Structure 1
Amino acid sequence: MSNRWIEVAPRVWVRRLEELDQTLGLVIGDDSCLVIDTGINAEAGYEFATAIREKTDLPWQVVYTHDHFDHWFGTSAFGESAIWAVADGAHYVGFGDEQRKAWAARYRRDGREEDARRIARTKLVPPNCRVNGAVGLNLGGRTVVLRQVGLAHSDNDLVIEVPDAGVLFAGDLLENGAPPSYDGAFPYEWPQAVEYLLSWKPQVVVPGHGDPADYWWARAQARDLAEMARLCSEVAQGFLTEAEALAHNPFGEATMKSALKRCKELTPPPPEPAPQASAPASAATLPQPVIVYDIFDYNVDLTGR
């Protein structure tokens, strides 16, 4: 598969990438456009920015669907612009630096030295506009909604709704062609978040990885996420064994293991046992009661007189 554009609605485009089977987005208005995620490194971001300029010369804004590196490490290619996200800039820089080091090491272990160098020299560009709840952006003749999700795939997921086109950009809340990633996720809350986001029945749902699909595909995946949450809960309560959950789940053994592990990480430790009361002393060592007798001087007349 080569990098290519897919128009999912009038002036709403999806950019499909070979690397990580990633899906980026572009929404064009009359006055400006919105860039949805930017790719895995500066070079990838430059290629994406160049492809966008083949579609439009309007000024752009950028939005990050969440803080995983493959969704925002390409932003340096976009120059000065508004960058929207849920988490703040300090979080993005700190977590981004950790990911940059970890992925550079991973690429080197895999023998991908040039990819390691690309990600190591990528400049991190944190967001400068905060999304808290929902924000409507007027692109000129078209308003898009940036919506904070809550706990789901991460603790800072954000989706983009294009109501006039019936399109939902779901980020990594949904993936097409690969199982969802539970590393750092919130398995119990995740399906509830997706069900809520689908309540307006978008005609097209764009996942963070894989091809765009329709509302009914998204509903099916939401049900699978709910089944994963149910299995995790039943294992935690002792109704199922882990082996049973691994054998009977919608996404496969490796994903189920990851979800169960994550649930254990999120389970608070049991409370400290209350201190035991000291055992009562034996009767032989108890202090003896003090009995006080009141002595009355009285006579009882038994003669009845």
Structure 2
Amino acid sequence: MYTIPGHHHISMVTKNANENNRFYREVLGLRRVKMTVNQDDPSMYHLFYGDKTGSPGTELTFFEIPMVGHTHRGTNAITRIGLLVPSEESLHYWEERFDKNNVLHSGITTYANRTAMKFEDPEGLQMVLLVADGEKIDHWETWEKSDVPAKHQIQGMGSVEITVRRLDKLASTLTDMLDYTEVSRNEREAIFQSVPGQVFGEIVVKYLEGPSERPGRGSIHHLAIRVKNEEELRFWDEQVKERGFHSSGIVDRFYFKSLYFRESNGILFEIATDGPGFTVDGDVEHLGEKLDLPPFLEERRTEIKAKLTPIE
């Protein structure tokens, strides 16, 4: 039986790639590891931020949609992203950094049983810094050129929050199909972990009635979870189909292979392979510095670049 070792990446919507680029590089101190386009719609940017190499489990990705409107918050949506920092001392560093950069934040609080600090990016994307207390993805690498000191750098994704009307339906998908472990539950919330005891594969499911979220800028499009290779991906493709969900089938994204499915509340999940990764078409020193295109789009480079606003 294969298991899910944690989150792979999470994908959001931004209205302005340049402003997005400034916040995630200059404020959060992440590395832009890949500047490419949405392979299903090459007229829009797809930006990836993460650790030194964009390791699985560290990647925040954004689709630029210049005409997108506001997000109208509601249920049946992925509603918050947890990011790991090394220590409580790190939270004090980030509180000062956020104040200096006019970032909306909660101050030091708790979230999912951890010392934490909630904050929002300029488009209202809801995130939370979580004290890792030694937990981090084994392959996370320090980004030496980050403005954030190594001892306070974001060390990848932690708890991801999903808000739904039918908590039991999502719980069943996570535990019965994907083999997550339910580690706590009350009337309004349940916590699941792909690796028991580890926050980097944790999903916090909240129950909420009411209208579904209407996505816009600052909304979360999908959560991708990790598998090692294509053999495991084929196994999970069969599990998705046996469960009665529609699978996209295996899609080659060049940097990884993946499949997509929606569970019963309409939450979009991606299951993605660890490799080959972002160095498949670039060296580590220069990742994210220029527009990279997968081979099947390379012949359209001139046409694609003409439709994109340059990013610094």
TM-score by length of 2: 0.29
Structure number with the higher strand fraction is 2
Question: Rg: which structure is higher?
Answer: 1
TM-score, with length taken from structure 1? 0.29
Select the structure that is richer in helix.
1
Higher normalized contact order (CA 8 Å, seq sep 6+, divided by chain length): 2
